[in-house]
Structure 1
Amino acid sequence: MHMIQTWSPGYIDDTELGVQGPRYKIIPFIEKEMKERSQGLDSLIFDIDEQISHLVHEIEDKIDDWTNQIDDRIDELRKRSIMFTSERENALWKKERDWSLGLVVGDIEENLTQWIMDEKYIFLYGGNDIKWVREFTSKLREVSYKTRQCMELIYVAKNEKVRARIVVEKMSHVLQSPYDAWRFWTRLQSALVSRINYLNASNWYGDECDDEIAKGFKKLLGYECKGKTMKEWALLSKEQNVAVCGHGTKMLRVINEFKSWKEDLAFKSFDQAFKDYYNKTLHTSSSSNCHSCCAFEYPITLKRIPTKEKCPECFHDMQKLVTFTCYHGDN
């Protein structure tokens, strides 16, 4: 199930799963070969060209029938979910080497595909404080106007009250429905499980695992997990590249202090300048009062769960708890 949640049908049903190459490329070659072999026979067998044409059409039909049979067998395999195997999972992860916006959103939000193609700066954000949301979206619009950079914002958190206010006040884009929000976070959880399975199979996962993709999933999931104390967060991406993902208070501070780093835009891209100033705020005394941190849950179905985990926000060791959750018999 975690593979079905992680990989869209388009990802699984790629062009590698089928008969490759132009179907009729071989037909002209066969026809040419047969005519060369029967050269001069037209004076004895007047319908030789028709016979060759008939033979070529028979071969063409047999190739079509064989190709269709293969495609039908592949469709049957898809219907029985045999595509979702550990071997297939490993093959898919070998194609994904970097933490990217595509891995974060999958096929959840259609607008993102166009925004990426348009090379816009994309902010995903979440929070339970509507005042922070208002200030964050307002200040970001000001920066966008001043820098003349195309920026898109989308609220992806689970808080329905905040989401409703954003829609009413037209502050930014939101996921279309509560189901879309559930799907977004469920898919992220499944993607992390899938990534851990891959790392386990490769003997790369453990307490000291430094995998960029797994760390990225954990950080986002830690922002919205039950038990977390962080109220708001934001992620900045340019095309597929995730530039920075962090605490909402610090992200807002970077925006509010735009005058302090706007000169950097003369020789840096917006995302790089933003990232550099954000990292700078992590080491200043004025940001030391931001102690809101993450919580994180591992599904018990994992073969191996680390004995210790560091907070993706403050990097201190996290407290380990065992939670029993009633699910009322639901699958």
Structure 2
Amino acid sequence: MQSKKTEGLRKKKVLLFFSDFDISEKVVSILKPICEEESRKDQYEIVWIPIVKNWIDIVQSKCKVNEKYFWYVVRQFSSVLGIKYVKEQWGFKDKPIVVVLSSEAKVEHKDAFHMIQTWGIEAYPFTFERERELRNREDWFGSTIDFNPDVLTWIQEGKYIFIYGGVDEEWRKQFAKRVEALAKDYVIQYAKISIVLSCVEMGCKGKDDRLQKFLSSRTHKNTESGWVVLSKGSKLVDGGNGITILKVLEEFNKWRRRVREGTMFEICFKDYHNEVLHNGEDWFGYFMIEHFQQPKFSTWIQEGKHIFIYGGEDEEWINHFTKKSEALTKDPVIQKAMISIELHHLTMKSKGKYDNGIAGHFWYKLELFSNDKPCTAVRQEIEKLISYKNENFGWAVLCKGYKLMASGNETNILKVLELEEFKKYI
């Protein structure tokens, strides 16, 4: 070990920095504030340990170049067992890590590099406990994102970041185009609001469990139509299904005035997103898209099709309703008018992640939705739907695209299947 006498390590916290010998300027910029703070307060020491299999002259010369960034440098750390230990016990995989040792040589963090990258000197004393404390702050979201170096810079600059993903390429193109247009809008630019976007590739949604739970709880994570998360710097602002968020952006004209009048962008965005989900006449369609990972169902809604959603415990009635609905779809008048009718049965049987059946999931999400304080008209429609839950017979809902058209129990909903009655909803 060189660069400084090793006596300086005794009775101090030590940060072991493992990397290959070629350290990027980006990594240096992350560690530099920590190095500078250490020189001022003398509370800990930093040791750089390059992981290199074969030490040659050029490698040692590079060490001389990098010595200026670290107080200590361990040369010729090439022991097979040592490298194996660092890789197996501390998870070194060619990317930089910082292992934190207490003054008693106890491991206080197996890799504090990411928390240093996110919080800088605020990460001191670089322990697991300190990281947990930082992650529980309102800016926890920033600590979950390490899939794009640009995002970390944007976080530090406090920009609004739209992070999005999904398998629908067409939706991704539409969304990116809409965000870019929003960023160039004169109201946004006049207000000096900086908006950027980052697409997350498949299989890379961030490391933090809370981000995974956030996406999963809102059923965006695996949706065909895409998902979106908006943050301001490291603070999570909002998130949602790609379809609903896209609508919020498409209708910017309806909430532009609030931004122009000085209301913070994140408040305007969240309020209008809530308006779309809870108070508009299309609430039911967005509710179904938001809470059900059913690609074909989302497509039917977007295409404006007539959809009968039905369920219940009376199997005989279910079969009867299905047959009558299918007969309606084949009626010559319906076919001549090229009206598309789809059926969607919400079963009570356990299916996949739905322990209480898809119907049980429907009622559960609907009851949660009612707690979000929708407007009076929507609340009345929700209460009417929930009233069918405890009936031991059948129930059905008819929607046309996003709009809820009719609903009823097994007795009165059958009338809607009569041609003359159904014409009212065309």
TM-score, with normalisation over the residues of structure 2?
0.38
Higher relative contact order (CA 8 A, sep 6+): 1
TM-score, with normalisation over the residues of structure 1?
0.48
Q: Which has the larger radius of gyration?
A: 2
